[in-house]
Structure 1
């Protein structure tokens, strides 16, 4: 079955990975960086936390939504065995390889920076996202293929009718609110390796699939009411900032998170649903860059933080170093050495068939 490519979803995935890199760089300059295993600068930039906190309530949930959307497109041309094999190659293989060979690198750099005894151990680190996504695929596969079988059913038509109302997309937030009440996360934004992160991601993954499954109703609604969702997101953020000193109750954070995400979907659908050579390149680069960025970031911190220069310049230099070195590794190593491509989520490039390597990847990663 031939499906129409959604370039806005590709763009959102690329942009979310870019924000992830910037966010992780900013953590280095926060006082609590070492508590979550990051190298910490002696000179801090605590003013970065307010914009960081605004991003942090929606950047990871957005990637879970987008990953669910990617599965919808994937099952249109695959049976369940083919999907499991394809997701095993694209997600499970890089996940296992990353745990063994990539994540330990930034732990070693951390030990070097703080003059600790060097010791290797396998750890999933930032690749926890891939582990979650593969678990969601296994859990949701029967339901997704059942929904595919009953497409154009009363259920789908009922969902489509609900999503034509601006309250329709917001109604899914009820389940996210219930999750915070039941799980009671100490920190809403602590998604990595927590039950809160797992259940929140599972719901976002499912609804991402559902929003594409029901057709244009959802997208036309977020397009039409994008400014409403943006206004609500701003209001929730101001309440969190002024009344709760950024530590609002989980149910308010859940509502704010989805309002930001529906805003992003609306503006993305309007302005980003266009193909291009830049998107084609970045869409394929995003996944490998996500996998390698942490040890590159730590390497940049190792060399730049000891320099006697203003802290703002350190932030800028580490940012430039991270993006540039990730690009160089991707462009001249990962993209060109065929045996490495599958280990970083890229398709095998066949001889005399370079066009295959230029095809857009389906949006599955964190990302």
Structure 2
């Protein structure tokens, strides 16, 4: 960071990482994987479905539904701040940040869209054909030359609910959005001459004390009132304005506040009130969602407006509680954390395809629910682990699975013994 601009003493000294945020990132990705296992069982629409429908899972799914991706964007913004500061300390500008983010995110996005995701679409079409009464979906003309049809957007896979547009990124929308947000951030850093992080001082002052709990809820409620009804979350990038307002704001918040020790301490002080508010808001929101879960159930507009505030309180209070408890208790580095900090990205890339493919074939076996779910979770864990272990052993090809090659210990020792370069 530049020493030209004044900064408050509460801004933490430069460091390569925050261990608590590493733990939170790993935990958030883990919850997301379990959430997608749950999508196989709840009545909500998804790519493939189990023969066991578990309606009682809905309130449990609602426990993380409002905030899990928002938290991931916030933590990703914080990680991008440390990366940007590292480049700045070495005299490298926003272009290096943009290049690094592109190298890390674009290869897995493209590989995912054309290799990882197609099986999800295949089995989604397969199950739709079975639902239409096709006895042998695999032998149907609709699935002949599937990958070519998928890649060329020529499948014409449509039913009464709409058409499946391909190629698609499905769960990898997070990677696409993170890449776009990172490039936008690099552009903002270039336009402001690297002064953008100074806005973190403004946020730090505005969010003192209880303001850290109140004002983000107000912001989230306002964008939900203004945008959510007009722009349903679609993950299509160009029409997803409520999602952008939510996710890019969280990304910027993480970037601007990652080094603020004052806000970190405030999160710690407010962790218990935030948790109590979060659980209360979740109970109210889950009860509302349960009451109006039927397709033809239409709540009154006044109730909808109130529930938008409840939803916003649920979103931020859980995030604030997680950040507070994390900052208080998750400060110990371990070999497991170092393994998972790199591993969760390939886990994320592979997990949904593993769930869809394994779930589709498991559903045919008519196993008891407990056995089916246990096998599905175990298969997903093993598949994710295998993906990471393969990715870390194939050099630069590991980039397509989200793993950058790591220098060998011998090279690291040699680099440490070299004389320092001239500035």
CA shift, 1:304, in A, is 1.6
The higher-RCO structure (CA 8 Å, 6+ apart) is 1
Would the alpha carbon gap of residues 327 and 98 (structure 1) be closer, same or farther in structure 2, given more than 3 Å must change?
same
The higher radius of gyration belongs to 2
Moved more, 287-296 or 179-188: 179-188
Take 1:298 and 1:354, find their aligned partners in 2: how far apart are those partners? 41
* Higher deviation after alignment, 7-16 or 178-187: 178-187
| 1:325 Cα deviation after fit | 1.6
- What is the CA–CA distance in structure 1 between the aligned matches of 2:400 and 2:105, rounded to whole Å? 9
Q: How many Å apart are 1:173 and its aligned residue?
A: 2.6
Residues 286-335 of structure 1: CA deviation (Å, up to 9, x unaligned): 0011111121112211332222321132112111111112112321x212
- Aligned in 2, Cα 1:140/1:351: closer, same or farther, shift over 3 Å? closer
How far apart, in 2, do the equivalents of 1:275 and 1:9 lie?
11
User: What's the offset of the Cα at 1:264?
Assistant: 0.4
Which residue pairs with 1:206 in the alignment?
252
Moved more, 120-129 or 136-145: 136-145
C-alpha distance in structure 1 between counterparts of 2:75 and 2:196, whole Å: 22
| Corresponding residue to 1:182 among 207, 226, 241 | 226
Out of 12, 35, 41, the residue aligned to residue 29 of structure 1 is 41
Aligned counterparts of 2:123 and 2:404: Cα–Cα separation in 1: 30
Task: Tell me which residue corresponds to 1:14.
Answer: 26
1:233 and 2:242 matched: no
Residue number among 371, 374, 377 corresponding to 1:313 in the alignment: 371
Q: Confirm or deny that 1:192 pairs with 2:235.
A: yes
Deviation for aligned residue 1:110 = 3.5
CA shift, 1:74, in A, is: 0.8
Query: Does 2:260 match 1:251?
Result: no
CA contact (8 A) 2:347 2:384 kept: yes
- Change in Cα spacing, 1:184 to 1:150, as seen in structure 2 (3 Å) is closer
The answer to whether the 8 Å contact 1:89/1:345 transfers is: no
TM-score (norm 2): 0.76
Gaps of 5+ in 1: 357-367
Q: Which runs of 5+ in 2 are unaligned?
A: 2-13, 88-92, 131-136, 151-166, 293-303, 414-423
Match of 2:401 among 339, 344, 348: 344
1:50 aligns with 2:54: no
Once the two structures are superposed, residues 331-353 of structure 1 have per-residue CA deviations (whole angstroms, 9 ceiling, x without a partner) of 1x212111421112211245665
Aligned to 2:268: 223
Contact 1:29 1:41 in 2 (8 A): yes
On the 8 A contact 1:163/1:217 being kept in 2, the answer is: no
Q: Does residue 103 of the first structure (1) align with residue 147 of the second (2)? A: no
Task: Give the Å deviation of 1:355.
Answer: 6.7
Distance 1:273 1:143 in 2: 32
Report the CA distance between 1:206 and its aligned residue. 1.0
The aligned counterpart of 2:164 is: none
Q: Quick check: 276-285 or 127-136, which moved more?
A: 127-136
Offset at residue 70 of structure 1 (A) = 1.1
1:50-105, CA deviations, whole angstroms, 9 ceiling, x for partnerless residues?
Answer: 11011111111100111111111111022111101100011122112211221112
Which one of the candidate residues 97, 101, 107 is aligned to 1:87? 101
SS of the residue corresponding to residue 322 of structure 1 reads helix
Normalising by structure 1, report the TM-score.
0.87
In the alignment, which residue of structure 1 is the partner of 2:341? 283
Q: Secondary structure at the match of 1:320?
A: helix
Contact 1:184–1:250 (CA<8 Å) still a contact in 2?
no
- The alignment status of 1:322 with 2:336, answered yes or no, reads no
Contact 2:48 2:124 (C-alpha < 8 Å) held by counterparts: yes
Deviation string, structure 1 residues 149-172 (Cα, Å, up to 9, x no partner): 376x6x654433333312234312
Q: CA deviation digits over 1:192-216, x for unaligned, max 9?
A: 3333222210111111112214x11
